[in-house]
Amino acid sequence: MTSEELGEELTADLAGVEEIIQVSIQSEVPLLHEASRHLMDAGGKRHRPLLTLLAARFGNPAEPDVLRAAASCELVHAAALCHDDVLDNATLRRGRPSVNARWSDEVAMLTGDFLFARSFLLLARLPMLEARLEVNTFVRLVTGAMQEMSGLAPDQDPDDYYATMVSGKTASLLCSCLRLGALTSGADEKYVRELGRYGEAFGLAFQITDDLLDLFGEEEKSGKRPGTDLLKGAPTLPLLYALRGSGEDSDRLRDLLGTAEPAGRRSRLTDEECAEAIELLRHHDAVGRTRERLDAHIAQARAALAPLPDGAAKDTLDFLCTGLAHRVS
């Protein structure tokens, strides 16, 4: 936080959000309640409700619907993670056994569905139509995930594919968090619009930093083991650029991994092959192109903040951009 006073206000608001979450995940079915609590009590940084609360500072943050909107955003995020863990066969979530690992894939899928439904119910209580329409975020999340699974088409531009895919699976929720905070606080329409633009650009930048951490991150600091995305076959931006590139390094990467298209990608890599692929990517000019895209999206996010009134909330949103830039510096 860029202001101690703002930090104290947000801490108090987040406590209120947590109360709403705990009420929302209650169920008469013991297993459903236990699985939901297991996921939500694992912690997490609550970044998404925090964005909602920050956006509400451009209106009246004391409006009671603000906390409900913030809780809804966190429930959606948790539901998506629960489903992702099933798709990825993940065994850990935030340092604890994932729901699918502790119980089963079936329990995890139903728990995710339950959390999505609870989020819908919170949104349904919001009085303004514009806020209720944010339910379209769920459509974008699923669409983005399907585009990630489908992969890059042979004649498709990597930048276009990546922007569309990440806009759905990552940026859509961040954008919705900010818009909901502004809408439920009664902020001016132009502030709602600019905060949405900020969320889209910030979401794209955030995903690119995650892609770069897969190559350059230190597991102790980032919590992410290098090569995780590579082993999953995730279409990261450096990989998309490199597989469509020319030269010996791109040729070797295609030999190791197959083409950029899913049908040609290998599903299994040895540890030695993964290490070689990481090393080739680290020194590939695709990394420079990726960093250029990161800088461009951070600049777009900052430009969206320009029309907003000065203050601690705006300063904090700008500081988050600085944090992204330093995340992979």
Q: Can you spell out the DSSP letters for 12-75?
A: HHHHHHHHHHHHHT--SSHHHHHHHHHHHTT----HHHHHHHHHGGGS-TT-HHHHHHHHHHHH
Spatial separation of the C-alpha atoms in residues 69 and 301, rounded to whole Å: 22
State percent of the chain over pLDDT 90. 71
Structure tokens at 40: 């939500």
Burial letters for 82-112: b for 16+ Cβ neighbours within 10 Å, e otherwise? bbbbbeeebeebeeeebbbbbbeeebbbbbb
Tell me: pLDDT of 262 over 70: no
Q: pLDDT tens for residues 44-83?
A: 789 999 999 999 999 999 999 999 999 999 999 999 999 9
Using CA atoms, how far apart are residues 247 and 281, in angstroms rounded to an integer? 13
- Choose among 59, 55, 62, 60: nearest CA to 12: 62
Out of 82-86, 222-226, 317-321, the most confident range is 317-321
Rounded CA separation 127/131 (Å): 8
Could you give the CA distance from residue 178 to residue 174 in angstroms, rounded to a whole number?
Answer: 7
Query: Which pLDDT tens digit goes with each residue over 122-161?
Result: 999 888 778 887 888 889 999 999 999 888 888 899 999 9
* pLDDT range class, residue 267, cuts 50, 70, 90: low
pLDDT at res. 166: 96
Q: What is the mean pLDDT of residues 250-258?
A: 90
Contact 80, 203 (CB under 8 A): no
Mean pLDDT for 208-222 is: 82
Average pLDDT over residues 16-34: 96
Round the average pLDDT of the chain to a whole number and report it.
Answer: 91
- pLDDT at position 223: 57
Q: What is the pLDDT of residue 136?
A: 87
Kindly tell me if the per-residue pLDDT of 222 is higher than 60: no
Count CB neighbours of 41 within 10 A: 13
- pLDDT tens digits along 155-206: 899 999 999 999 999 999 999 999 999 999 999 999 999 999 999 999 999 9
Dmax over CA atoms of the chain, in Å, equals 60
Q: Could you tell me the pLDDT band of residue 93, with boundaries at 50, 70 and 90?
A: confident
Let me know: does 52 contact 109? Beta carbons within 8 Å.
Answer: no
Q: Say if CB 66 and CB 53 are below 8 A apart.
A: yes
Which domains does the chain possess?
4-327 (1.10.600.10)
At 95, the pLDDT band (50, 70, 90 cuts) reads confident
- Here the contacts of 322-325 (C-beta below 8 Å, separation 24 or greater) are 324/202, 324/205, 324/206, 324/209, 324/294, 324/298, 325/294, 325/295, 325/298
Helix (H, G, I), strand (E, B) or coil at 96: strand
| pLDDT confidence of residue 78 | 94
Tell me the pLDDT tens digit for each residue of 5-24.
999 999 999 999 999 999 99
Instruction: State residue 221's pLDDT score.
Output: 61
